[in-house]
Amino acid sequence: MENLSRRGVLSLGVALGLVGVADGAKAWAWPSADSVAGAGTGADPEYVWDSATDPLMAALLENGSVPSINTAMAGWVNNADPLPGGFPAELTAHLRQVNRLPSWADRTKLTRAADFNRRRDTYLFMLYGLGSGIMSTVIPREARSVYWSAGGADMQDRAAKTFTFGYDLSQLKAFEPTGQFVVTANKTRLVHAAVRHLLPRSPHWTSGADQDIPISAADILVTFHSLGTYVRSKLIEWKVPFPAADQEAFLHSWQVALHLLGVPDEYIPKTWAAAEAQSAQVLTPILAPTTEGIKLAEELLGLTAQIDLGVTRGFLNEFVRYVLSDEVGDWLGLRRDPVAAALVRTAWPAYIKFREGLSPIMPGTFYLVDQFVRALAMLFLNKGSSGATTPITIPTGNRPG
Ligand code: HEM
């Protein structure tokens, strides 16, 4: 794993639209006063996992109940659905505590966030899909755990499941009783708890691990910044109109999502300024290539290329370079395509300007870019290629090798 110099980290942070790198590198220095809880223990989230879920899931894996839980889980979809009768009593008791919105959730903001997600879906597809999605492959711990977990062996299926999370989060009624996000987040929380038990048993994962147990609260915050914090900064950089109320609502939906994923409230940033400060501390300094990440990026971009996006793989590579920097593109070995590079760098800003009514001139490349965006959106809206949500299931093992 490559270690970046402080200067390298700073320039990469700027290229990604992320605020620089915090001082004091390793020690946890983010103030809990800036969290939604407003106070906390100050404990380093690097060593915080999910004490409410992890021991329970470990026991369920050990006693062989997970396959029947997965069967029962298929019918548990909407937020208002009763917990499945087929769940073991201890799982039901646990979910009764956590399968609900936090007391501080603000329904007005959540509704606005859903509306924002709908209004801005074009940019969100592009940024989550090609920005955050590929960024996840240069987050070493995420890349290694995704690669060596069972799901790593079938990236198409895994990508479809991840779509489910984003899709359910972006529905208008995501957090309402008829929506599905609270359930999807809780299923994901169970999956993460299972991974914490399973991965330390994989010799492949342990051989390169710099932690004993994967997916700490700090790791989840890192992923949040690669998604929400990154997307917000790019929208601002691209001059997409983004009123303060939309920004606040967007943050709020992520705050609730993090809570539902089991991150303690004392680590969930209260404001975007607090989120950026945290991102500077936890995300920017750790970005680096890994063998696993390079393979995952190739698979993910290959998957996208399988579907006809109306553009070449060169265009796709260059779009990734455009949103994530050449440095990341080089790490991942994305083949250069100078013609496509020039096209992306002129066509995309022109496309945004025209779409947002900031320029009356329709660029000649409008339809090319629009076709690309629509194809990617369809991929997302079709929830993968099957047309049905791919159910999230709890793994019972790791990737064999
Ligand atoms: C599974 C979302 C953070 C590693 C999942 C799934 C979702 C998801 C929706 C279930 C779909 C699937 O099975 O593929 C998220 C979100 C995160 C987050 C929204 C933070 C905001 C992390 C982090 C790591 C991680 C920080 C590791 C460092 C994994 C692994 C799986 C998984 C290994 C299981 C894949 C398998 O089935 O084998 N995550 N995740 N996730 N996640 Fe996360």
- Cβ(335)–Cβ(347) below 8 Å: no
Q: Which ligand 1 atom is the nearest neighbour of the CA of 227? A: 21
End-to-end CA distance of the chain: 20
What is the tens place of the pLDDT at every residue in 7-23?
666 667 766 766 555 55
Give the DSSP letter of residue 398. Answer: B
- Cβ(20)–Cβ(157) below 8 Å: no
Q: Is 214 close to ligand 1, i.e. is its CB under 6 Å away?
A: yes
The two structure tokens encoding residue 101: 């919105």
What is the tens place of the pLDDT at every residue in 162-188?
777 877 788 888 899 999 999 999 999
- For the chain, the domains span 52-79+109-286, 291-381
Q: Is 150 close to ligand 1, i.e. is its CB under 6 Å away?
A: yes
Q: Is 142 close to ligand 1, i.e. is its CB under 6 Å away?
A: yes
What is the tens place of the pLDDT at every residue in 119-165?
888 898 889 989 999 999 999 999 999 999 998 888 877 777 777 78
Where does the pLDDT of residue 229 fall: very low under 50, low under 70, confident under 90, or very high at 90 and above? Answer: very high
Residue 258 has a pLDDT of 98
Q: Is 158 close to ligand 1, i.e. is its CB under 6 Å away?
A: yes
Protein residue with its CA nearest to atom 38 in ligand 1: 151
Q: Is 165 close to ligand 1, i.e. is its CB under 6 Å away?
A: yes
**Dist. CA 188 → ligand 1 center (Å):** 7
Q: Which ligand 1 atom is the nearest neighbour of the CA of 149? A: 38
Residue 47 has pLDDT above 70, yes or no: yes
Residue range 35-51: mean pLDDT, rounded: 96
Protein residue with its CA nearest to atom 30 in ligand 1: 146
Q: Is 131 close to ligand 1, i.e. is its CB under 6 Å away?
A: no
Residue 217 has pLDDT above 80, yes or no: yes
Residue range 61-72: mean pLDDT, rounded: 97
Query: DSSP letter string over 253-288?
Result: HHHHHHHHTT--GGGSBSSHHHHHHHHHHHTGGG--
Q: Is the dihedral of CA 149, 230, 254, 281 positive or negative?
A: positive
Q: Is 215 close to ligand 1, i.e. is its CB under 6 Å away?
A: yes
**Dist. CA 261 → ligand 1 center (Å):** 10
Provide the CA 168 distance to its chain's centre, in angstroms.
Answer: 13
Residue 2 has a pLDDT of 43
Q: Is 226 close to ligand 1, i.e. is its CB under 6 Å away?
A: no
- Cβ(216)–Cβ(46) below 8 Å: yes
**Dist. CA 192 → ligand 1 center (Å):** 6
Q: Is 195 close to ligand 1, i.e. is its CB under 6 Å away?
A: yes
Q: Is the dihedral of CA 238, 241, 246, 248 positive or negative?
A: positive
From 191, 219, 392, give the residue whose CB has the most ligand 1 atoms within 8 Å, as the site to mutate.
191
**Dist. CA 55 → ligand 1 center (Å):** 18
Q: Which ligand 1 atom is the nearest neighbour of the CA of 152? A: 38
- Cβ(148)–Cβ(202) below 8 Å: yes
Where does the pLDDT of residue 389 fall: very low under 50, low under 70, confident under 90, or very high at 90 and above? Answer: low
